[in-house]
Amino acid sequence: MSDMASLPEIGADDFVRRFALRAPNLMWLLGAGASVSAGIATAGDMIWEFKQRLFVSQRHASRQSVADLSSPAVRAQLQSHIDAGGQLPAQGAPEEYAALFEAVYPAEPDRRTYLDSKMAGARPSYGHIALATLMRAELCRLVWTTNFDPLIADAAARVFGSTGPLTTVALDAPELAAQCIADGRWPIEVKIHGDFRSRRLKNTTDELRHQDAQLRGVLIDACRRYGLIVVGYSGRDDSVMDTLDEALKAEGAFPQGLFWLHRGEGRPLNRVCEFLTRATDAGVEAAIVRVENFDEALRDLMRMVEGVDTSDLDAFAAERRRWTGAPPPAGRRGWPVVRLNALELIRSPTVCRRVVCSLGGYAQIQQAVDEADVDILVARVRAGVLAFGADADVHAAFDRYDLTEFDLHTLEQKRLRYDSGERGLLRVALARALARNRGLRHLRRRSTDLLTPADVTDDTWAPLRKLVGQLSGAVEGHPDLTWYEGIGTRLEWAAERMWLVVDPRTVFDGLTAENRDVAADFGRERSVRRYNRELNELVAFWASTLAGEAGDLPALGIGDGVDAVFQLSPDTAYSRRTLT
């Protein structure tokens, strides 16, 4: 298994500069992640939908009971059912998507109908239009894609004003791909797994295993002549990765470089890490490039390339703008307003402490903090260990681990736009600040922080009791399962600023695999009647309580070192129609 620290990596700005010089000699490989902003579900999204459909049909359960596929409790319930069957791959296995798809829809016509429904209504995103704009400027000649959707073709038709210039090749005619590349009949799009309208879709384990050898041969040959940019593709299916591995064996493969655009701070799949490491060992200029998403990566590229007519792209960006800033509603003309459950962070930390030491991942770092018995908040990023806390406490935790650097780290806005280590650190710090200053108890659950009243008898919570009744108790028949009225919180980036999203919910202590269904039913029963006026009043209460008098919210209240201090707006975000 490859060590993340040893993987080749370059900054997004470095990649953009290289691209500007090499664009005509770089081909693209697009995966499902490139179509997310166009409204098409990723393989990961569909995996949970497949599990839901198997659960409902096999357990004769209500679909409503497992409707929220973002809920950790629902996912645990679905995964428990899949695991109990013992017939499908483990969660996260490379073949999981294909096996589940085939289990849910064994017949190929049904799979095609399902995919057709997923494509309905999808429109090209900024990234697709930008790619087509590069095609017109002869800076993007060849695109390979694992996707079934027509988004690249639709974008090219818009930019070129015709469907003629782009040649799209699917599995029905692999020889056409070889001929077009040999003749330089640019631009070309090659659908590795087929077109969703084609009769030769390749999306199940057996089909992927027997993928057209001729088309793979064309890809291998192209890798000997061009560099490759991979974006939105996880490396999940073996057919494509086997082909790239085979291409790597050729002398002089990827002569213009191999750039794997990867979203977020996490580690790519092991198969990808191993491939990139082998590429580097073979002398290929290979690197991971961390990006926010497909659209933002293309925005960065378009700023750098010169001599490209971007008029169509500018017009597209203007027409797809979905919102504009609006002043607060005044008088009757400003209503109706849709209240959103998000509070703006009007103040948040801009720096934190940075430490470089010999510790590796987050688990080791947190263990060091626990062993030192100090109150500091930490995160692990490529630059080192990030921390909020007293300097003496930070030293106490990390001095014994070959500490070599101790300085400040700027929390750059661009790294707060996605689920980065910096944003994760702010999320935990804000939850701590709210618990410390607003009489709340903090529980951390994966990507969500849960907050409940620390003392439900305190007069602070009298308005909440008036809205929802009892604030805590034991679930009937399950004395070890206790519940509390509370909220889930998370940080989101929108409209060029950070927001605290507040989700009123029932929080449980004592959850186990055996009582999760009971907890889910209990929580659903408590919240089923909360809508319109009731939910509005509940969100208004939490907004007022969390923001207080809009004063400072320090996470630690320390006198030295670096504290995390926040301010929240008491006004929630809102949406309304404006007159122009």
In tens, the pLDDT along 528-574 reads 778 788 888 999 999 999 998 868 999 999 989 999 999 999 888 87
Q: What is the pLDDT of residue 211?
A: 47
Range of lowest pLDDT (187-201, 305-319, 522-536): 187-201
Range of lowest pLDDT (300-314, 388-402, 427-441): 300-314
Q: What is the pLDDT of residue 197?
A: 44
With CA atoms as reference, report the closest residue to 279 among 250, 248, 302. Answer: 248
User: What is the amino acid identity at position 562?
Assistant: V
- pLDDT tens-digit profile of 400-415? 999 999 999 999 887 8
Question: Pick the residue with more confidence: 290 or 563?
Answer: 563
Q: What percent of the chain has pLDDT over 70?
A: 90
Question: Per-residue pLDDT averaged across 256-270, rounded?
Answer: 88
Q: What is the pLDDT of residue 208?
A: 44
Q: How confident is the model at residue 15 (pLDDT cuts 50, 70, 90)?
A: very high
User: What is the amino acid identity at position 248?
Assistant: L
Question: Per-residue pLDDT averaged across 231-259, rounded?
Answer: 91
Q: What is the DSSP letter of 562?
A: B
Q: How confident is the model at residue 4 (pLDDT cuts 50, 70, 90)?
A: very low
- Joined tokens for residue 29: 């490989």
Q: Examine the pLDDT at 86 and tell me if it is beyond 50.
A: yes
| Partners of 169 in beta bridges | 190
Q: Examine the pLDDT at 417 and tell me if it is beyond 70.
A: yes
Question: Per-residue pLDDT averaged across 94-122, rounded?
Answer: 83
| Structural domains in the chain plus CATH codes | 4-40+124-316 (3.40.50.1220), 43-119 (no CATH), 430-574 (no CATH)
Q: Examine the pLDDT at 307 and tell me if it is beyond 90.
A: no
- Joined tokens for residue 238: 């073996």
Question: Pick the residue with more confidence: 161 or 339?
Answer: 161
Q: Examine the pLDDT at 199 and tell me if it is beyond 50.
A: no
- Joined tokens for residue 362: 């987050």
Q: What is the pLDDT of residue 314?
A: 80
Kind and range of the H or E element at 567?
A: strand 565-575
Q: Provide the CA 453 distance to its chain's centre, in angstroms.
A: 31
Q: What is the pLDDT of residue 200?
A: 46
- pLDDT tens-digit profile of 361-396? 888 999 999 999 999 999 998 889 999 999 999 999
Q: Examine the pLDDT at 330 and tell me if it is beyond 80.
A: no
Q: How confident is the model at residue 277 (pLDDT cuts 50, 70, 90)?
A: very high
Q: What is the pLDDT of residue 194?
A: 55
DSSP β-ladder status, 553-554 and 565-575: antiparallel
Query: What residues have CB less than 8 Å from 367, skipping those under 6 apart?
Result: none
Question: Per-residue pLDDT averaged across 227-246, rounded?
Answer: 90
Cα distances from 153 to residues 174, 187, 576, in angstroms, run 18, 11, 35
Give the ranges where 438-512 is alpha helix by DSSP (H). Answer: 462-468
CA atoms of 139 and 258, how far apart (whole Å): 17
Q: Examine the pLDDT at 302 and tell me if it is beyond 60.
A: yes
Question: Per-residue pLDDT averaged across 216-240, rounded?
Answer: 91
Question: Per-residue pLDDT averaged across 34-46, rounded?
Answer: 80
Query: What residues have CB less than 8 Å from 322, skipping those under 6 apart?
Result: none
Question: Pick the residue with more confidence: 183 or 212?
Answer: 183
Q: How confident is the model at residue 103 (pLDDT cuts 50, 70, 90)?
A: very high
User: At 105, phi and psi to the nearest 5?
Assistant: -130, 85
296-319 burial code (b ≥16 CB/10 A, e <16): bbbbebbebbeebebebbeebeee
User: What is the amino acid identity at position 257?
Assistant: G
Q: How confident is the model at residue 469 (pLDDT cuts 50, 70, 90)?
A: very high
| Partners of 189 in beta bridges | 143, 168
Q: How confident is the model at residue 94 (pLDDT cuts 50, 70, 90)?
A: low
Q: What is the pLDDT of residue 190?
A: 94
Question: Per-residue pLDDT averaged across 208-232, rounded?
Answer: 84
With CA atoms as reference, report the closest residue to 484 among 505, 503, 511. Answer: 505
- pLDDT tens-digit profile of 48-81? 999 999 999 999 888 888 888 877 788 889 999 9
- Supply the mean pLDDT for the chain: 87
